[in-house]
């Protein structure tokens, strides 16, 4: 099958970690990539970096917790590159603690950033981005293995990512006849700035060093190490391809064997 390139791909949270690796991979495959995150300077810097690598990239600020921001982001992408073909809902945050001590605003922010955002940006892409009128499309949601199993001290995070997996399955079934596939990619432990923050959080909660937490986490992973952002991006790239047309409503792990489900 000849793969078509030059599609318009939107990636949220692409100034760091997994999102940046996804933008680079899709851009290198010949797609036009439009990226967003809250920090305007980092968006500008990342766009420049991707362009210097020969990628047709642009971007604007985006806060996935705001419907107005999501719509403005998608409109800016349409103005720059045309209607949207591929959406990667990647922006997310960690967050948790002893559940009885979790403040409601932390709970709300984790759910808003990780789950409501996926509905919000998907809706904006289907409508403002014109995707609902197309016969080909890809929506790829970066969930987590925490979207399939409970993570201790991570109740809001786990709940949000289970929600993302549920949304993915329902929308995938709904859109299946249209040629638009909807899938979730579920990373396990991936070495990114977020992973470092998570280790620091557990080290504080258990009063041990971050190295001790790293060792404990690595011991849980059959492969014995964290996955890389590039390894996660590789699956996103495959799901975005024409060949992946029959894969929809799935939640697929990239986790070194951590999840067996
Ligand atoms: N790393 C892991 O071990 C791991 C495992 C499983 C799943 N995941 C998931 O993978 C995704 C990416 O994680 P990562 O590890 O690559 O994180 P990261 O390095 O912290 O990057 C997060 C990105 O999202 C952006 N972002 C955060 N909040 C945002 C908001 N409200 N609106 C728009 N952009 C926002 C950040 O930029 P700004 O701060 O400038 O907005 C940044 O570009 C997340 O959904 C995460 O839950 C990660």
Report the pLDDT value the prediction gives residue 106, as an integer from 0 to 100. 98
Q: Kindly indicate the confidence band of residue 261, based on its pLDDT and cuts at 50, 70 and 90.
A: confident
pLDDT (mean) for 56-77: 98
Task: Give whole-number Cα distances, 222 to 34, 189, 192, in Å.
Answer: 36, 12, 20
Residue nearest to atom 29 of ligand 1 (CA): 91
Rounded to whole angstroms, the Cα distance separating 188 from 194 reads 12
In this structure, are strands 180-187 and 251-254 parallel, antiparallel, or unpaired?
parallel
Are 163 and 146 in contact, with CB atoms under 8 Å apart?
no
Is residue 157 within 8 A of residue 102, CB to CB? The reply is no
Q: Which conformational region is residue 234 in: left (phi greater than 0), alpha (psi within -120 to 50 degrees), or beta?
A: alpha
Angle formed by the axes of helices 155-175 and 104-111, to 10°? Answer: 30
| Among protein residues, the one whose CA lies closest to atom 25 of ligand 1 | 13
Say how many Å lie between the CA of residue 177 and the centre of ligand 1.
Answer: 31
pTM higher than 0.85: yes
Ligand 1 midpoint to CA 113 (Å): 9
Q: In terms of DSSP bridges, do strands 180-187 and 8-12 run parallel, antiparallel, or are they unpaired?
A: unpaired
What would the pLDDT profile of 193-245 be if each residue is shown by its tens digit?
A: 999 999 999 999 999 999 999 999 999 999 999 999 999 999 999 999 999 99
206 belongs to the catalytic site: no
CB 243 within 8 A of CB 181: no
Q: What would the pLDDT profile of 98-143 be if each residue is shown by its tens digit?
A: 999 999 999 999 999 999 999 999 999 999 999 999 999 999 999 9
- CA 195 to centroid of ligand 1, rounded, Å: 10
Distance 111 CA to ligand 1 centre (A): 13
Name the 3-class secondary structure at 8.
strand
CATH top-level class for 8-190+228-254? Answer: alpha beta
SS3 47: helix
Q: What is the pLDDT of residue 1?
A: 59
Q: Which tokens is 27 given?
A: 């851009």
- The residues, any chain, with a CB within 8 Å of residue 68's CB and separated by 6 or more, are none
Which ligand 1 atom is the nearest neighbour of the CA of 190? 3
Domain assignments of the chain as residue spans, ordered by start: 8-190+228-254, 191-226
Give the residue, by CA position, lying nearest to ligand 1 atom 37: 37
What pLDDT, on a 0 to 100 scale, did the predictor assign at position 260? 82
**In the structure encoding, which two tokens stand for residue 70, read together?**
């999501």
**Which helix (H) or strand (E) covers residue 99, if one does?**
none
- Mean local confidence (pLDDT), 173-179: 98
The ligand 1 site (C-beta within 6 Å) comprises 12-13, 15-19, 37-39, 42, 62-65, 90-93, 113, 142, 144, 187, 189-190, 192-195
């Amino acid at each position: 099958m000849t793969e078509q390139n030059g599609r318009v791909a939107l990636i949220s949270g692409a100034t760091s970690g997994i999102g940046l690796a996804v933008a680079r991979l899709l851009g290198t495959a010949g797609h036009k990539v439009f990226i967003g995150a809250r920090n305007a300077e980092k968006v500008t810097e990342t766009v420049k970096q991707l362009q210097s690598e020969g990628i047709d990239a642009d971007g604007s600020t985006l806060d996935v917790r705001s419907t107005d921001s999501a719509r403005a982001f998608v409109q800016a992408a349409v103005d720059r590159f045309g209607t949207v073909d591929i959406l990667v809902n990647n922006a997310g945050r960690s967050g948790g603690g002893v559940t009885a001590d979790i403040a409601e605003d932390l709970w709300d922010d984790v759910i808003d950033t990780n789950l409501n955002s996926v509905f919000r940006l998907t809706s904006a892409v289907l409508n403002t981005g014109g995707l609902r009128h197309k016969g080909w499309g890809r929506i790829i949601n970066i969930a987590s293995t925490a979207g399939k199993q409970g993570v201790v001290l991570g109740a809001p995070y786990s709940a949000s990512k289970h929600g993302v997996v549920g949304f993915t399955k329902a929308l995938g079934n709904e859109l299946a006849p249209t040629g638009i596939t909807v899938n979730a990619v579920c990373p396990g432990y991936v070495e990114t700035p977020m992973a470092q923050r998570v280790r620091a959080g557990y080290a504080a909660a258990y009063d041990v060093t971050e190295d001790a937490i790293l060792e404990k986490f690595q011991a849980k992973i059959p492969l014995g190490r964290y996955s890389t952002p590039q390894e996660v991006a590789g699956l996103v790239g495959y799901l975005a391809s024409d060949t992946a047309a029959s894969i929809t409503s799935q939640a697929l792990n990239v986790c070194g064997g951590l999840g067996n489900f």
